[in-house]
Chains A and B, each alone.
Chain A
Amino acid sequence: MPSTQNPPLSGAALDPTSVRPPIDDATIERIAPAQLRARLEALKAEGYAMLLDLGAVDYLERRPRFDVVYHLLKLPPKPATLSEVGTPARLRLLCGIDEGQRLPTAMDIWKSADWAEREIYDLFGIVFDGHADLRRIQMPLDWEGHPLRKDYPTRGPARERSPRPAFASKTNVVAGTPPSGRTLEALQEEVKRARES
């Protein structure tokens, strides 16, 4: 919640992918969900033979909320020796989608997208259309909630309100909450109830 202690985010704090620090790690491309499938097929045909990784990031206050990130590697065909491999090219494809939006699967382009997409569905709740078997992979099948979302508490919803030692890190506590955990209003409520009883 915005307050004087938590001003609303803007610029790079809101969307870290909008700044480009001087790092030469990959070619970066941002794409809309509607063109994603065509672009992935084109890249595969261009020689990006390996889908290195497929991950997601939750930018809670940004619209679109999620970024699904494809890391691709371009290798020469059948490189048997080191000199043939040379320096492969890396590409990072970022696709921003909103809550509730679905993405097409990449499973039939690169088989390794199978588990990666299942993990994104499990931990972020992003659904991939056309996936053969989209079910949870890391959490138990009957788990509720998507743990890596930013609004999911780190300690899990069941233990969020449980007492914990004072020296534990207060990652789930809203800024402005006093160390006792109780706000002034709650304290006044308690006093009032104690006086009435």
Chain B
Amino acid sequence: MAVGPGGFMLARVDDVARWAQSSSVWPLTMGLACCAIEMMSVTSAEYDIARLGSEVFRSSPRQADLMIVSGRVAQKMAPVIKRLYDQMADPKWVISMGACASSGGMFDNYAIVQGVDTVIPVDVYVPGCPPTPDGLLYAVNLIQQQIREGGRGGIFVRA
């Protein structure tokens, strides 16, 4: 961005779009288990994800652009997650929060899907059981970095 003569600002449209998208990532309330409580702690005053732009957590997938899968994904819940991911509008990002969402965690059994990335594509994995809220804040920072630096996002649709 550059300030030109006469007070005009020059920038690429794509950069401005990415700056706007990365500064207002609104997560979807996909709180499943223990990690959901740490996700709620992230919204509380101590860690405050709102200062990163996630002012509200939208319950409707149509209005969210980040799905934070926080908690273990049971067999019954997997099709629901897929459906919700499909309902989100592009561009969308996914954080897999916690060990259970990333790989099945300590539950290597019949009931838990071994990693939500077998169901939907994931951008950032956060290890921990549950990860501290700082970990989730760092994950959102990484998503913001991804948005600004390329890949999905911006004003032009890339396949």
B-binding residues in A (CB < 8 A): 138-140, 143, 147, 152-157, 159, 164, 168
Query: Can you give 13 contacting A-B residue pairs, CB < 8 Å?
Result: A138-B111, A139-B111, A147-B110, A147-B111, A152-B110, A153-B110, A154-B108, A155-B109, A156-B109, A156-B110, A159-B110, A164-B108, A168-B108
Q: Does B75 lie within 8 Å of A155, measured CB to CB?
A: no
Q: Does B75 lie within 8 Å of A140, measured CB to CB?
A: yes
- Smallest CB–CB gap between A145 and chain B, Å? 8
- How far does the alpha carbon of A154 sit from the alpha carbon of B108 in the complex, in Å? 8
- Residue B12 at the A interface, CB < 8 A? no
Q: Does B76 lie within 8 Å of A155, measured CB to CB?
A: no
Q: Which 9 A-B pairs have the closest CB atoms?
A: A156-B110, A140-B76, A154-B109, A147-B110, A155-B109, A140-B75, A155-B108, A155-B110, A139-B75
Given A138-B76, A154-B109, A155-B108, 18 more pairs with CB closer than 8 A: A138-B111, A139-B75, A139-B76, A139-B111, A140-B75, A143-B75, A147-B110, A147-B111, A152-B110, A154-B108, A155-B109, A155-B110, A156-B109, A156-B110, A156-B111, A157-B110, A159-B110, A164-B108
Cβ contacts under 8 Å, B75 to chain A:
139-140, 143
Cβ contacts under 8 Å, B76 to chain A:
138-140
Of all chain A residues, the one with the shortest Cβ separation from B77 is A140
Cβ contacts under 8 Å, A139 to chain B:
75-76, 111
- How far does the alpha carbon of A156 sit from the alpha carbon of B75 in the complex, in Å? 11
The prevalent SS among residues of B at the interface is loop
- How far does the alpha carbon of A139 sit from the alpha carbon of B77 in the complex, in Å? 10
Of all chain B residues, the one with the shortest Cβ separation from A154 is B109
- How far does the alpha carbon of A138 sit from the alpha carbon of B114 in the complex, in Å? 18
Of all chain B residues, the one with the shortest Cβ separation from A147 is B110
Q: Which of B76, B109, B110, B114 has the most CB of A within 10 A?
A: B110
Cβ contacts under 8 Å, B110 to chain A:
147, 152-157, 159
Cβ contacts under 8 Å, A140 to chain B:
75-76
Of all chain B residues, the one with the shortest Cβ separation from A157 is B110
- How far does the alpha carbon of A112 sit from the alpha carbon of B54 in the complex, in Å? 42
Cβ contacts under 8 Å, A155 to chain B:
108-110
Contact with A along B84-122 (1 / 0, CB 8 A): 000000000000000000000000111100100000000
Of all chain A residues, the one with the shortest Cβ separation from B111 is A147
- How far does the alpha carbon of A177 sit from the alpha carbon of B108 in the complex, in Å? 21
- How far does the alpha carbon of A143 sit from the alpha carbon of B79 in the complex, in Å? 14
- Smallest CB–CB gap between A119 and chain B, Å? 13
- How far does the alpha carbon of A143 sit from the alpha carbon of B76 in the complex, in Å? 10
- How far does the alpha carbon of A57 sit from the alpha carbon of B110 in the complex, in Å? 19
- How far does the alpha carbon of A153 sit from the alpha carbon of B110 in the complex, in Å? 8
- Smallest CB–CB gap between B63 and chain A, Å? 29
- Smallest CB–CB gap between A144 and chain B, Å? 11
Cβ contacts under 8 Å, B114 to chain A:
159
Of all chain A residues, the one with the shortest Cβ separation from B79 is A140
- Smallest CB–CB gap between B147 and chain A, Å? 35
- Smallest CB–CB gap between A178 and chain B, Å? 22
Cβ contacts under 8 Å, A138 to chain B:
76, 111
- Smallest CB–CB gap between A90 and chain B, Å? 30
- Smallest CB–CB gap between B75 and chain A, Å? 6
- Smallest CB–CB gap between A142 and chain B, Å? 10
- Smallest CB–CB gap between A107 and chain B, Å? 23
